[in-house]
Structure 1
Amino acid sequence: MSSNRKISKEEYQKLADKHEKKRPIVKNCMIAFFVGGTISLIGQVISFIYIYFFDFSEQTVGDPTVATLIFITMLLTGFGVYDKIAQFSGAGTAVPVTGFGNAVISAAIEHRTEGFVQGVGGNMFKLAGSVILFGVFSAFVIALTKTILIQMGVI
């Protein structure tokens, strides 16, 4: 015969904590650090390639490098490779540029059955839209702050 005894939230939490699998936090942080660093290293290599082979300057190489990283991420996401890398490395793939590319293409792939306009076009920037919005807003705040500091003679 089973008992219908109710347990308190504290008792339940203790029981849940007792059976919870401990996560290897240090190991996960190291993996995320090295994968994120590798992605950044790949971005730096792409920058060097654009500088030395395509005659870009250090000031103008940023845009094509970012576009290339986003394109590579979208290809890897489309082929299912990026998701495996993300599952292995956790936050390591959340480097802003590659995370953005993954968010855009994932939404597009998920909603492709709804058609190109309402499915792909209507949904691919839902998640990425907040990234764009807050990125532009942050850039505005930083530019405004820098302008004020320059006018005050601080920098």
Structure 2
Amino acid sequence: MESEKKKQEYNEYVERITPNNNIWKDMFNAFWIGGLICLMGQVWFEIFTYFGMGKEDAAAWTTLTLILESVLLTGFGLYPKIAKVGGAGCLVPITGFANGVVSPAIEFQAEGQIFGVGAKIFTIAGPVILYGIFSSWIVGIIYMLLQTTGLVK
């Protein structure tokens, strides 16, 4: 009987502290803020091509510019505020990845360049990089095996 009462108290506590989010509002905010980030990318792309860059070069410079903007906004403390409103709309583009790399570096800079910034810079992005490389190896090996057996050309 005691454990049932504790479970009920715990469930009431969880309900009390869990924020109530409006899913439609959250989806709308993710849509328009993510769309705004993509629009900024398209504007940069158009600017670079207007000034004579080829499509590949313009795409590379657009990516670099978006990363720089994200890093600067994170450094000034603005990107987390935008992400709080935009949610997944800020996490999906390359800007979210850049924010994920820079945030721990800023947070731990007081611990020094080596044990602070150097050790913590990849705490969020490191697993993404690691599993991306690992999964590409696995897919490559599977593809190679399928090619050697003649199942894929």
CA distance in 1, matches of 2:118, 2:124: 12
Distance 1:72 1:152, change over 3 A: same
Query: 1:98: how far off?
Result: 1.0
- The answer to whether the aligner puts 1:56 opposite 2:54 as a matched pair is yes
Deviations 1:89-126, CA, capped at 9 Å, x for gaps: 22221024111111111111111111112211121112
- Equivalent in the alignment of 1:91: 88
What CA distance in whole angstroms lies between the structure 2 residues aligned with 1:121 and 1:50?
Answer: 33
What is the CA RMSD across the aligned residues, in angstroms?
3.2
Following the alignment from structure 1 to structure 2, what is the Cα–Cα distance between the partners of residues 53 and 26? 40
CA positional deviation for 1:69:
1.0
Q: Which stretch shows the higher mean deviation, 39-48 or 133-142?
A: 133-142
| Normalised TM-score (structure 2) | 0.76
Is 2:116 the partner of 1:119?
A: yes
Counterparts of 1:10 and 1:85 in 2: how far apart (Å)? 37
* Superposition deviation, residue 138 in structure 1: 4.8
Change (3 A) 1:22 1:138: same
Indicate if the aligned counterparts of 1:100 and 1:131 stay in contact, CA closer than 8 A: no
| Gap regions ≥5 residues in structure 2 | none
The answer to whether the 8 Å contact 1:114/1:120 transfers is yes
Q: Where do residues 27-46 of structure 1 align in structure 2 (5 Å cutoff)?
A: 27-46=25-44
| Identity value in percent | 40
> What is the number of residues matched between the two proteins?
149
| 1:66 to 2:63 alignment | yes
Task: Give CA deviations for 1:48-103 in whole Å, capped at 9, x if unaligned.
Answer: 2222215132x343332222111100100111111111111222210241111111
8 Å CA contact retained: 1:77, 1:102: yes
Q: Per the alignment, do residues 75 and 18 of structure 1 end up closer, same or farther by CA in structure 2, a change over 3 Å counting?
A: closer
Deviates more, 1:117-126 or 1:4-13: 4-13
Report the TM-score, using the length of structure 1 for normalisation.
Answer: 0.76
Q: Does the Cα contact within 8 Å between 2:67 and 2:98 map onto a contact in 1? A: yes
